[in-house]
Amino acid sequence: MPANPKLLAVILGGGAGNRLFPLTQQRSKPAVPLGGKYRLVDIALSNCINSDILRTFVLTQYNSASLNRHIAQTYRFSQFSNGFVEIIAAEQTPENPQWFQGTADAVRQVLPHIRDWGIDTLLILSGDHLYRMDYRQFLGRHHTTGADVTVSVIPCEARQASEFGLLKTDDTGRIVEFKEKPKGDELTAMKVDTTHLGLDAKEAERRPYLASMGIYVFKYQHLEQLLAEEPENWVDFGKHVIPAAIKSRHVQAHMFDGYWEDIGTIGAFYRANLDLTTKIPKFNLFDAEAPVYTRARYLPPSKIEETEINDSIISDGCIINGAKVTNSVVGLRSRISKGVQLDSSFMMGADFYQTFDDMRNDMSKNLPRVGLGEGTVVRRAIIDKNARIGKNARLLNEAGVAEAEGPNGSYYIRDSIIIVPKNAVIPDGTVV
């Protein structure tokens, strides 16, 4: 299926990402590193490219500098192509003096930029989900059913269902009801015969609920009409626009039956990254048919000396000397010193290499160099970029603390996971 000149994709990347704090302390949620060398936004953009969708707007607002720089440095199409990935930052205008108030309001405010392209179909995506989808199938169902709006849904079990916005369909796949995180009798009432959407009888019985993935296709004219109805009140797609559309428009469901993870919390983010180290990960980075794209960096291969590595991912440009690395993701330019034990952790790496002069200067100030110092032990942690962790530190959370904050924000504990923020300094001998 060739690229559709009447189609445009919009990736929503403007949220504050409070649930991912402190990883979002200095960057937006879609800019958070993933898998050692990627950013979260690379997932949606790669899905677009692999689906021959080559015209994409990324809407940014909060802590957007890092995301803007990544996109500008990464997604450069040929001058002989009409493809682009363009950043549209929130802007104050005489008509819209406020910043984006929600997902629907963000799209509403950038409609003047979208109109310029004369489209008939708009694909709306989130910038913080981990999944691989061929959007051509999604769009195909949208066009085949003649829907005004199509929502991508994922079947789920009862124990998961109450955490999502649920959709109820009739036997044609048309969405007839929406409930946000229902419980009790309301939850039971949202059961659907998912065989109508393609599950076999056994799976349909096990997963009788349809959760919204926050991914939508609109006939453009209907999107404009809906966003004009109550511009001050309808600010979010999931809470306002989609429920209203169900009452007044033909809204269809497209079932996605693959791996999908909303990695908007520290726990979910940690588990998704650590799963990449398993023998058969739920998300396959090695799929040659649908690669994940990111910025090309001209880094040397990793240098590893006298080190034991088990079930881990080691990214480019690392220097690891005399350490033990287990079930961990090690990001670009990571430096791991002698005697370090890194277990069940995500070390994001560094944005730069320190010179010998830099290191000598740090030593004169009693400042640890970037990376993990000699004899340090780290378990169940996320180490953000450019962190300096001194010698013989123990980041283990042996007491099993669920939530905590270190002095001056030097570290945090969320969901019992230790997080060392970007550029943080952990002195020699620190115990967490």
pLDDT at residue number 80: 77
Q: Which tens digit of pLDDT belongs to each residue from 219-270?
A: 999 999 999 998 888 999 999 999 999 999 999 999 999 999 988 899 999 9
Is pLDDT at 175 greater than 70 in this prediction? Answer: yes
pLDDT at residue number 14: 67
Q: What are phi and psi of 70, to 5 degrees?
A: -60, -45
Rounded (to 5) percent helix, strand, coil in the chain: 25, 25, 45
Q: Which tens digit of pLDDT belongs to each residue from 319-329?
A: 999 999 999 99
Name the 3-class secondary structure at 419. strand
Weakest mean pLDDT among 136-150, 193-207, 245-259, 390-404? 193-207
Cβ-contact 23, 269 below 8 angstroms? yes
Name the 3-class secondary structure at 30. helix
CB count within 10 Å of CB 190 equals: 19
**Torsion angle of C-alpha atoms 40, 43, 44, 48, degrees rounded to 10:** 150
Q: Can you read off the two tokens belonging to residue 165?
A: 């916005």
Residue 89: pLDDT band with limits 50, 70, 90: confident
Across the beta sheet with 303-305, the strand order is 303-305, 319-321, 335-336, 371-372, 388-389, 425-426
Is pLDDT at 316 greater than 90 in this prediction? Answer: yes
Q: Which of 387, 395, 401, 427 is nearest to 33 (CA)?
A: 387
DSSP states along 208-249: -EEEEEEEEEEEHHHHHHHHHHSTTT---IIIIIHHHHHHHS
Is pLDDT at 2 greater than 80 in this prediction? Answer: no
> Which ranges in the chain are annotated with CATH 2.160.10.10?
303-426
Q: Can you read off the two tokens belonging to residue 219?
A: 């006939």
pLDDT at residue number 3: 58
Is pLDDT at 62 greater than 80 in this prediction? Answer: yes
7-275: what CATH class? alpha beta
Q: Which tens digit of pLDDT belongs to each residue from 329-388?
A: 999 999 999 999 999 999 999 999 999 999 999 989 999 999 999 999 999 999 999 999
pLDDT at residue number 311: 97
Q: What are phi and psi of 165, to 5 degrees?
A: -75, 125
Cβ-contact 418, 380 below 8 angstroms? yes
Q: Which residues contact 32 (CB under 8 A, 6 or more apart)?
A: 17, 20, 23, 24, 39, 40, 128, 269
Q: Which tens digit of pLDDT belongs to each residue from 416-425?
A: 999 999 999 9
pLDDT at residue number 198: 86
Query: How many percent of the chain have pLDDT more than 90?
Result: 82
Taking the CA atoms of 394, 395, 396 and 399 in sequence, report the sign of the dihedral they define.
positive
Cβ-contact 20, 32 below 8 angstroms? yes
> In the chain, what is the greatest distance between 2 CA atoms, to the nearest angstrom?
72
Structural fold of domain 303-426: UDP N-Acetylglucosamine Acyltransferase; domain 1 (2.160.10)
pLDDT at residue number 256: 95
pLDDT at residue number 399: 95
Q: Can you read off the two tokens belonging to residue 285?
A: 């980075």
Q: Which tens digit of pLDDT belongs to each residue from 115-130?
A: 999 999 999 999 889 9
CB half-sphere exposure, 295, CA atoms < 13 A: 22
CB half-sphere exposure, 101, CA atoms < 13 A: 14
Name the 3-class secondary structure at 34. strand
> Which ranges in the chain are annotated with CATH 3.90.550.10?
7-275
Q: Which of 405, 424, 427 is nearest to 414 (CA)?
A: 405
Residue 396 CA to residue 406 CA, distance in Å, equals 14
The average confidence (pLDDT) of the chain is 93
Residue 289 CA to residue 269 CA, distance in Å, equals 25
Determine the length of the chain.
432
pLDDT at residue number 277: 97
Cβ-contact 156, 261 below 8 angstroms? no
58: phi > 0 → left, psi -120 to 50 → alpha, else beta; which? beta
Q: Can you read off the two tokens belonging to residue 159?
A: 């124990």
DSSP states along 46-114: HHHHHTT--EEEEEE-TT-HHHHHHHHHH----TTS--EEEEEE----SS--SPP-SHHHHHHHTHHHH
**What is the rounded average pLDDT of the residues 82-100?**
81
Is pLDDT at 1 greater than 50 in this prediction? Answer: no
**What is the rounded average pLDDT of the residues 44-70?**
93
Cβ-contact 418, 400 below 8 angstroms? no
Cβ-contact 40, 87 below 8 angstroms? no
